[in-house]
Amino acid sequence: MKWEKPPKLYIMGWLVSMPFITLALCYIMYGGEMWRNWRIPAACYLIIYAIGFVSWRLHVVYDLNMRKKFPSLDQTAKRVRYKTAINLVIMTPSVLLIFFLFHTLRIFNYQIQPNDLLYGYLVGLAVNIIFETLWEVNYLVEKHKETAMEKELLERMQLMQEFTNLKQKVNPHFLFNCFNTLLALIAEDKIKAESFLDELSKVYRYLLRNNQSGMSTLADEVNFIKSYSRLLQTRYGQGLQLQMNIDPAVNNYELPALSLQLLVENAVKHNIISKQNPVFININATGNGRLIVENNLAPKINKPDSTGIGLANIREKYRLLKRDDVVAEQRAEKFFVSLPLLEVGN
């Protein structure tokens, strides 16, 4: 068995218990005589402390090794059985060696009396039960904390992985749409294509720089949407109108990265966009901690295949953040989405 440094709780247990053990054993051996002859308690404390230290140190080594051999919470019963057996058969009976030592050396003429061993055994048993229970309860509390921390860490790692998976779904989808637009512009107007490519590089730099943590501030998302909307308006011209009303008080609130981009992209994807019938997208954020994105409806006759990445992706990100209050509904001739804004640190 390995000799490790005793935990602080074990040391405190020995320091607290030894005065009482010594006093009890000394009284069992000498009775009231110990109060009349100061040499008796002096000798008792010296000898019993020395023997007690060796016994306690062996107890600590055994106890810590039991923890290593049976460390988990579901092995508690087995750990307790082994420690109980050792306490009853070895640890507690070791107290009786003190009586035999005093009897053999005739220290202050001590001779073992009929009930001395029984009382000594009960003293040792009581002390061992109290402190072994205290040590085991402390260990169980620590293991529960450790298990809770491990569970929390695993949940965080899982959330990070799920966020990463969601981001990997968004970015290729976003690039695919942009490259389609760029190909169309190259054939129509090379100057506009160059301008579009320049805006695209700015937008994607934002994605690479700010989409690592999974969250963005509302201010960053709004600035990104301004650049992103210029990409869309390069192609659609006056067919797409974007208006924003953002309360500065919520600029530093957070939301899942690219949420705005996905909602704007959905409005473009599912509606007819023309100069005669433009799509109006209104983005509003007020002090009530909600972001509202609204667009008029002009559904395409031949609707494109929907992968469900857009709104479903946003709902999934909020689910990972323990929020289920994303609202999406059709109101008259408009489509309305309301997202909760999260205060930093909450």
The 10s digit of each residue's pLDDT in 170-188 is: 556 566 767 777 777 787 7
Determine the 3-state secondary structure of 269 from DSSP: helix
Q: How far is CA 266 from CA 206, 260, 271, 304, in A?
A: 20, 10, 8, 11
50-56: average pLDDT: 85
Quick one: pLDDT at residue 154?
Answer: 56
Q: CA angle at residue 306 from 302 to 312, to 5 degrees?
A: 145
Task: Give 254's pLDDT tier (boundaries 50, 70, 90).
Answer: very high
What's the token pair of residue 273?
């966009």
Task: Give 62's pLDDT tier (boundaries 50, 70, 90).
Answer: confident
Angstrom distance (rounded) from CA 32 to CA 58: 32
99-102: long-range contacts at Cβ-Cβ below 8 A with a sequence spacing of 24 or more?
Answer: 99/25, 99/29, 101/47, 101/51, 102/29, 102/47
Q: What is the mean pLDDT of the chain?
A: 81
Quick one: pLDDT at residue 282?
Answer: 95
Angstrom distance (rounded) from CA 100 to CA 56: 19
Q: CA angle at residue 225 from 223 to 230, to 5 degrees?
A: 105
316-323: average pLDDT: 82
Q: How many CB atoms lie within 10 A of CB 135?
A: 20
Least confident interval from 133-142, 149-158, 181-190? 149-158
274-294: average pLDDT: 90
Q: How far is CA 118 from CA 18, 28, 123, 138, 314, in A?
A: 19, 10, 9, 30, 73
Task: Give 145's pLDDT tier (boundaries 50, 70, 90).
Answer: confident
- Asked whether the beta carbons of 228 and 203 are under 8 A apart, the reply is yes
Beta bridge partners of 244: 283
280-292: average pLDDT: 91
226-251: average pLDDT: 87
Q: Would you say residue 305 has pLDDT above 60?
A: no
